[in-house]
A and B are shown apart, each in its own frame.
Chain A
Amino acid sequence: MASDPDAALVLESRAGNRRAFDDLVGRYQRPVYNAAYRILNDRDDAKDVTQTVFLKAYENLGRYDPDQRFFSWIYRIAVNEALDVVASRKRTTAVPEDLVDHRAGPDDQAERDQMDRGVQQALMALKLEYRTVIVLKHVLGCSYEEIGVILEVPEKTVKSRLFTAREALREVLASRGML
């Protein structure tokens, strides 16, 4: 943990320093929200996931393994929460891809960016495990090794999944005239 830039804040948070935890939230709120959004394609669900991630992190700091990088831990919680939401959607009402997240919001300007939406919709066309690994690599910037830790799969599996995911995304984008 000595090389983890979050180590000091984690230790202080575990000792009850809420300001230290707020600093951790400040560091990871944005990537967690963005990862959740790219997996779920819904701002409200992404917000719910972000809330739950930090609540669970706060409540479970005592169980955090200091040998693990903090970001791996928080991203694993985020991915699991997002996957739970997807599973919940399947159990209840499926949300058609082209109907989600069309409400106006403060970021509507960016959301209207055609290319951005096109790529997001292409992501939504991928199998969930492919979308997830793409998000970890390209939205969160994780290495193969880090993705392996987060998803709890061997690095070899990460590479195989990521390479297949990119190929699938290439095919989707090409079929939509976006390449």
Chain B
Amino acid sequence: MSDERLTELINLDLDGVLDADGRAELERRLAADPAARARHAELAKVAVKLAGLTPLDPPRDAVPSAKVLAWRPRRPGGTWTRYAAALAAGVVVGAVGLSLYRLQPEGLMVDSSEMAGTMARTGPASVLLDTQTISTPDLQGQVTLREADGLWVVEFDLRSDRPVTVVASYDGAEARLQGFAPPDEGAAQIGTGPGRVTFAAEGQRHAAFYLKPIEGAGGPITIRFQAAGESALEVQLDPARH
């Protein structure tokens, strides 16, 4: 019997999937081989230790709030009229989304039905913290940083003639990613990592992501726009600029 076979028998046994023939074979091998017995015993201890790992409770904000999930950008002309009708009917919506869409109604659109119940409360309007205008031959638009409801909202309204990679980086010790609204084409192009959000832009793009700043902190957010094979354009959004 090879060591590979012994390894298989021991591990299948530990996983509780060893059949009767295999069990008999393992028992014969263990009875005849002290080293095999010791190895079996140690691997069993490993399994016990792994089973004893303390399950951790995720923090409350480990999943995106319904509010964040509700901020889903839509193509221009979508549901703005419904949203306006809801406003006219007296629905009080006081959080970030409203401020965003008021400022750029031709851009991000929101389904008011998704917001009802999750954002229908009084609250502060968003405060403009910083804005940067992008104007190059191939890429135009605006990147805006707002503060609302305890979150920083980084909003992109871009138009590019060719593929551009957008990389937003921030100090992970000063702010945590709370969520994002993907570009119009869906979330597949969104990439995230510690202190970083990345997405691709081509043509007209609207996207936003949300950071929860750590109390007392607030460093700048660096945005790099990189076209293939060319040097990157870089801008900074500074929460303290305004």
Shortest Cβ distance from residue B39 to the other chain A in the assembled complex, whole angstroms: 8
Interface residues of chain A: helix, strand, loop or mixed (majority): helix
Interface residues of chain B: helix, strand, loop or mixed (majority): mixed
Contacts of A64 in B (CB 8 A): none
Docked complex Cα distance between A92 and B46 (Å)? 33
Interface hits, B1-21 → A, CB 8 Å: 7-8, 11, 14-15, 17
Contacts of A58 in B (CB 8 A): 64, 69
**Contact of A47 with B7 in the complex, beta carbons under 8 Å:** no
Closest to B61 in A: A47
B192 at the interface (CB under 8 A from A): yes
Name the contact of B46 in the complex, choosing from A22, A29, A54, A166 (C-beta under 8 A).
Answer: A166
Closest to A84 in B: B193
Contacts of B35 in A (CB 8 A): none
* Residue count of chain B within 8 Å CB distance of chain A: 48
Known contacts A47-B62, A60-B186, A166-B46; A88 and B56 CB within 8 A of each other: no
A68 at the interface (CB under 8 A from B): no
Contacts of A12 in B (CB 8 A): none
Shortest Cβ distance from residue B188 to the other chain A in the assembled complex, whole angstroms: 7
Contacts of A18 in B (CB 8 A): 66, 69, 114
Q: How large is the interface on A (under 10, 10 to 19, 20 to 34, 35 or more residues)?
A: 35 or more
Shortest Cβ distance from residue B1 to the other chain A in the assembled complex, whole angstroms: 15
* A48, A54, A116 pick with most chain B CB within 10 angstroms: A48
Known contacts A30-B55, A58-B69; A159 and B11 CB within 8 A of each other: yes
**Contact of B176 with A47 in the complex, beta carbons under 8 Å:** yes
Docked complex Cα distance between A179 and B179 (Å)? 42
**Contact of B193 with A179 in the complex, beta carbons under 8 Å:** no
**Contact of A25 with B63 in the complex, beta carbons under 8 Å:** yes
Contacts of B17 in A (CB 8 A): 144
* B55, B72, B180, B194 pick with most chain A CB within 10 angstroms: B194
Contacts of B187 in A (CB 8 A): 55-56, 59-60
**Contact of A173 with B49 in the complex, beta carbons under 8 Å:** yes
Sample of 29 A–B contacts (CB below 8 Å): A22-B66, A29-B58, A30-B55, A34-B58, A43-B59, A44-B172, A48-B176, A48-B192, A50-B63, A51-B63, A51-B178, A55-B68, A55-B69, A55-B187, A59-B72, A60-B186, A84-B191, A84-B193, A88-B194, A106-B59, A113-B54, A115-B49, A119-B49, A138-B53, A139-B50, A144-B17, A166-B11, A166-B43, A179-B45
